[in-house]
Structure formats: structure tokens, C-alpha cells
């Protein structure tokens, strides 16, 4: 990686029809790649992203998904919009990783068919990526955002930008941060966005909950 130091593992999921088709697919760049596809690589449980996308393919919704391993002990720094590393992460995904994936796989070039997805701090940086780089990203899945980690700064950034695209946000009722998510939702409702906001009253802040809510998120984002 030129923008960020070191190497990073990336997993790429191809939809069931990929080998029988020549079309370009929507592409989803997802944070915390260790936890997306396999319990063996996960440190906190699996999202079952591949199984979910396989099921959605039977409904006619298909996408290429790119899981990006997080930075380990530097995860919160990398997923913060207010650090050089966080801004560098967004630039790397937009300007280095996406072109590399496009060179190897058939992904759609349009921003409206290019998205980002994450939970907690990964949700924070996913929303920021949509706001910061509308030339690349046109939709974002923001699961259980941890806006409380960022203070008022993230609300000011979003309020002052001409945000557009499709945004899915959710949170569990047993989590901290419910009020902050709804505060952000109120800001986004004044923007040019297609917005879905869900609160699941009994959900906590964990991979099991995100895996359970993932089909709803992807049906909205990929429709």
C-alpha cells in the first residue's frame, strides 16, 4: 500500500453468476474483513457475508464484495475520519484498492454502484467515505455507528457537506449511541440521500447482531 504502511489482507467474494456472465457487478468494500466470511479468521464472530450474498442472489441481487482486514491494534485510528491514517484509509480504498479490484474483476465503474460497509468504528469511516469521496462511493452501510467516539466533529462535517447517495443506518436498542445515530439521521434527512434507519430494540453491539441485520441492509443498498 502506498498511502498506508505495510500490507493488508483482502478477501474478494464473486457472485454465483459471475463465471457465466460478462456483466459488471456492483461492488461493496467492507471493513473488518477478518470477521466477514469465516469463523476461522474472525476474532469476534462471523457476519456470514458470503452466505447472505448467496441467498440474495436467488432474489436477483448480486454484488462483488471486498473484505478489507482491519489494522489490528490501530483499528480505531484507521477508522477515524479525524486522523491522517483514517483519511489515508479512505484514499487507499478509493484510489489504490478499487482500481486494483477493477483490473482483476468485472465491477461497475459508477459511484452509485460502488459502496462501503462497516460496523461500529467501521460504520463511522464508511459514512465518512461516502461524504468525502462522492466521486467513488454512492452508497454506504453504517451498522451500529460509534459516533460517540468522534464527538461533535462528525456531525459538523456531515452537516456542512452536500451529501448524496443511499445510506442504511441501524443500531441495537441495547447499545450505547442510539441518540447519536438518530441525531445523524436527522442531519441526513436534510440531504440528497435515500435513507433507511432501523433500531432493533433487543440487539447488542456484536457480530451476531450485525449478521442478523445484514440481509436487510444489503437488500436496501443493492436494490
Percent of the chain residues topping a pLDDT of 90: 91
- pLDDT tens track for 67-119: 999 988 899 999 999 999 999 999 999 999 999 999 999 999 999 999 999 99
Confidence of residue 213 (pLDDT cuts 50, 70, 90): very high
Is 60 exceeded by the pLDDT of residue 59? yes
For residue 202, what pLDDT is reported?
94
Amino acid 3: pLDDT: 61
User: Is 45 within 8 Å of 206 (Cβ atoms)?
Assistant: yes
Give the DSSP per-residue string, the chain. Answer: --SSSS---EEEE--TTGGG----B-EEEES-GGGTS-TTT-SS----HHHHHHHHHTTT---EEEEE---GGGHHHHT-TTSHHHHHHHHHIIIIIHHHHHHHS-B--SGGGEEEEEETHHHHHHHHHHHH-TTT--EEEEES--GGGTTTHHHHHHHHS--EEEEEEEEETTSTTHHHHHHHHHHHTTSEEEEEEEEETT--SSHHHHHHHHHHHHHHHH-
Confidence of residue 43 (pLDDT cuts 50, 70, 90): confident
Contacts 24+ apart (CB under 8 A), 186-190: 187/155, 187/158, 187/159, 188/158, 188/163
Give the pLDDT confidence of 124-138 residue by residue, as tens digits.
999 999 999 999 999
Q: Mean per-residue pLDDT for 52-77?
A: 96
Mean pLDDT across 151-170: 97
Q: pLDDT class for 7, splitting at 50, 70, 90? A: confident
Report the pLDDT value the prediction gives residue 175, as an integer from 0 to 100.
96
Selected from 3.40.50.1820, 3.40.50.300, 3.60.15.10, 3.30.420.40, the CATH number assigned to the domain covering 10-222 reads 3.40.50.1820
Mean pLDDT of all residues in 26-39: 94
Q: Could you state, in order of their start, the residue ranges of all structural domains in the chain?
A: 10-222
Amino acid at each position: 500500500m502506498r498511502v498506508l504502511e505495510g500490507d493488508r489482507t483482502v478477501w474478494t467474494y464473486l457472485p454465483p453468476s459471475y463465471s457465466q456472465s460478462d456483466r459488471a457487478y456492483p461492488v461493496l468494500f467492507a471493513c473488518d474483513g477478518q470477521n466477514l466470511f469465516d469463523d476461522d479468521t474472525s476474532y469476534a464472530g462471523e457476519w456470514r457475508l458470503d452466505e447472505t450474498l448467496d441467498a440474495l442472489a436467488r432474489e436477483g441481487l448480486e454484488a462483488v464484495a471486498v473484505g478489507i482486514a482491519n489494522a489490528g491494534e490501530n483499528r480505531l485510528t484507521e477508522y477515524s475520519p479525524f486522523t491522517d491514517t483514517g483519511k489515508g484509509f479512505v484514499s487507499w480504498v478509493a484510489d489504490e484498492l478499487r482500481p486494483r479490484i477493477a483490473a482483476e474483476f468485472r465491477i461497475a465503474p459508477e459511484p452509485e454502484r460502488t459502496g462501503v460497509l462497516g460496523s461500529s468504528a467501521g460504520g463511522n469511516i464508511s459514512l465518512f467515505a461516502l461524504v468525502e469521496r462522492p466521486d467513488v462511493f454512492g452508497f454506504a452501510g453504517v451498522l451500529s455507528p460509534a459516533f460517540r467516539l468522534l464527538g461533535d466533529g462528525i456531525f459538523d462535517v456531515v452537516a456542512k457537506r452536500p451529501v448524496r447517495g443511499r445510506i442504511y443506518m441501524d443500531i441495537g436498542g441495547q447499545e450505547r449511541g442510539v441518540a447519536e445515530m438518530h441525531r445523524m439521521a436527522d442531519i441526513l434527512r436534510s440531504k440528497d440521500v435515500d435513507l433507511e434507519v432501523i433500531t432493533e430494540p433487543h440487539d447488542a453491539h456484536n457480530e451476531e447482531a450485525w449478521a442478523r441485520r445484514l440481509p436487510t441492509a444489503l437488500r436496501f443498498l443493492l436494490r
